[in-house]
Amino acid sequence: MEVVKDLTAELRKAEAKDRWYEIEVVIERLLAPQRYTRPFTYVKSGWGELMRVESVVDGAPDALRAPKRKVKGRKGESEIKTGNCWTFKLINSKGDTVDPSKVEDWKGVSIVVPWGQHFGIWKGCLRRSLEAQKSQKYEVVSLQLMKVYPVWLNVGNAPCESMKEGKTPEVVLESRPNGKMVEVFFDYIENRKVKFYTRIDSECPINEERFVALCKSVSNLDTVGPSKRGSIKVTSLKHVSLTEDEIKQLLIEERTAEPVQPVIY
């Protein structure tokens, strides 16, 4: 084989034209993705009252007594149930996944959310913004030329707000194929300030002006995350230049991160 022309240098020049953005947001409210669960015990109010009126006839066949009227009543005051609640992924200081139902001391335990990759929350926000602008048909494909780092975003210390004293998970009514409505429980976080990076390929048709407009529109979405009940406020957007070591570290974290699986958002 004969090398006609080495284009590696041109490839590196093209890579250097990629745009990097540092984005800071406040997660005002976000429900847990439907992947991890924890047991949740809750008390339901009474199911109502049941009254039964019966007429009873007794005695010998040739000498029946007059019918007796009986009234029976049942009243449901409360019932205790234990079900599953969708919750967030927890990690300890070593990066190992922690079972929330077995945590005795929350010190050193953090919450991470699936933020990067195609099925992450940030790209989900951008897709919903494009959908609301009726631009999904033309521009949503361009999101494939964006990458978000890190894949799993640390949003701060555990427990989440719904697990704190006096708080309960969010209750969402969801329909089933048989037409019934069932209660589904979600943990949630509130007012978490985080920072992440977005890399836009130099060949992506979404220019800087359009990307700023997209980020601005995300701040006005109230359909972020599962069941479309969350909101995110973009507070800072900076076009930055990362060093080779910083880029290398982000790429290593991306390769070693647990893949983000498609879930219902």
Question: Is 156 within the bounds of a domain?
Answer: yes
pLDDT tens, position by position, 166-196: 888 988 888 878 888 888 899 999 999 999 9
Alpha-carbon distance of 76 to 72, in angstroms, equals 14
Question: Is 120 within the bounds of a domain?
Answer: yes
Question: Is 129 within the bounds of a domain?
Answer: yes
Alpha-carbon distance of 171 to 142, in angstroms, equals 35
% of the chain exceeding 70 in pLDDT: 92
**Stated length of the chain:** 265
Would the pTM of this model clear 0.85, i.e. be above it? Answer: no
Residue 89: how many CB atoms within 10 A of its CB?
Answer: 18
Question: Is 184 within the bounds of a domain?
Answer: yes
Question: Is 128 within the bounds of a domain?
Answer: yes
Question: Is 197 within the bounds of a domain?
Answer: yes
Residues ≥6 apart with Cβ < 8 Å to 139: 130, 205, 206
Question: Is 105 within the bounds of a domain?
Answer: yes
Residue 238's pLDDT band (cuts 50, 70, 90): very high
Q: Residue 30 above 70 pLDDT? A: yes
pLDDT tens, position by position, 121-156: 999 999 999 988 887 677 888 899 999 999 999 999
Range of the domain at 23: 19-43+80-256
CATH number, position 157: 3.30.70
Question: Is 58 within the bounds of a domain?
Answer: no
Instruction: Return the pLDDT at 114.
Output: 94
| Total domain count, the chain | 1
Residues ≥6 apart with Cβ < 8 Å to 155: 27, 110, 111, 112, 113, 189, 192, 194
